[in-house]
Amino acid sequence: MSKIIANNLNLWYSAFHALKSINLAFEEKRITAIIGPSGCGKSTLLRVFNRMNDLIEGVRLEGEARIDSENILGGNFDDLVRLRKKVGMVFQRPNPFPLSVYENITFGLKVHHLAKKKDFDAIVQEALESVMLWKDLKDKLRKNALGLSLEQKQRLCIARCIAVKPDILLMDEPCSALDPQATLKIEELMQKLKKDYTIVIVTHSMQQAARVSDDAGFMLLGELVEFGKTVQVFTAPKDKRTEEYITGRYG
């Protein structure tokens, strides 16, 4: 059974038809990349899976989206909180809270009452170690997170998600604010995290998709044009539009 499934999923922003009959199945503990030109709906699709689209007025959804075969659309308030605990999200611009490094990581623990105060230290260390920040920050846990470098901030945001033990990490162009070197390091981190998490990454860098992902989907104008193994999508695309995009004739 696939981890994430969508059946005939449609989404409208008021009158604008942003996602058109999407069908997909993402596998567990793999990195799935969604590529496509700006405005193709790839971020919107990503935000279906943790229902961040709920925040926007006038959004209407039809069809079906399932995680672990449980319908994630609809459901009550508790279901929504549970969903977002299970599905972490990393944003385009690193957005650590204006709190200390320590408080950034314990935020989710407090919100979900996941651990006792006395266990916080261990969890913070574990989370920072998993994103390879512990060595750099172990003496700066009480410092404000806004003082970190961009790369450190993005790692901290990943650590913040990991601390609540999600199953899935959604990454919305997580490297677009970073320089090439920091980008490579975050990509290395993703490879390491793949062992424990199902990762879905939206990117408009095709090279990045080719480097990090196992599966890839190509979106255009709200449609999922092609989906398959990354190697296949990039070397032997079945759809002409995919071929045109990856050879640089679009966007």
- Please tell me the distance from the alpha carbon of residue 242 to that of residue 130, in angstroms, as a whole number: 35
Tokens representing 185 are 């390091």
CB of 100 to other proteins, least distance (A): 10
The radius of gyration computed from the CA coordinates of the chain, to the nearest angstrom, equals 18
Q: Check residue 82 for interaction with other proteins (CB under 8 A).
A: yes
Q: Check residue 110 for interaction with other proteins (CB under 8 A).
A: yes
- Please tell me the distance from the alpha carbon of residue 164 to that of residue 107, in angstroms, as a whole number: 9
CB of 156 to other proteins, least distance (A): 11
Task: Report 47-66 residues binding other proteins (CB under 8 A).
Answer: 50, 52, 55
State which of residues 91, 115, 223, 251 lies at the interface with other proteins (CB under 8 A). 91
State which of residues 42, 66, 84, 155 lies at the interface with other proteins (CB under 8 A). 84
Q: Check residue 89 for interaction with other proteins (CB under 8 A).
A: yes
Residues 210-249, one symbol each (x = binds other proteins by CB under 8 A, - = not), give: ----------------------------------------
- Please tell me the distance from the alpha carbon of residue 110 to that of residue 43, in angstroms, as a whole number: 28
**Composition of the chain by helix, strand, coil, percent to 5:** 40, 25, 35
Residue 184 in 3-state DSSP?
Answer: helix
Q: Check residue 250 for interaction with other proteins (CB under 8 A).
A: no
CB of 209 to other proteins, least distance (A): 22
Contact residues for 216 (Cβ-Cβ < 8 A; gap 6+): 32, 33, 34, 35, 209, 210, 227, 228, 229, 230, 233, 234
Residue 95 in 3-state DSSP?
Answer: coil
State which of residues 36, 41, 88, 174 lies at the interface with other proteins (CB under 8 A). 88
State which of residues 93, 165, 204, 229 lies at the interface with other proteins (CB under 8 A). 93
Identify which of 137, 143, 203, 217 has the alpha carbon closest to the alpha carbon of residue 173.
203
Tokens representing 59 are 């959004």
Where on the chain is the footprint of other proteins (CB under 8 A)?
Answer: 50, 52, 55, 77, 81-85, 88-89, 91, 93, 95-99, 107-108, 110-112, 157, 160-161, 164
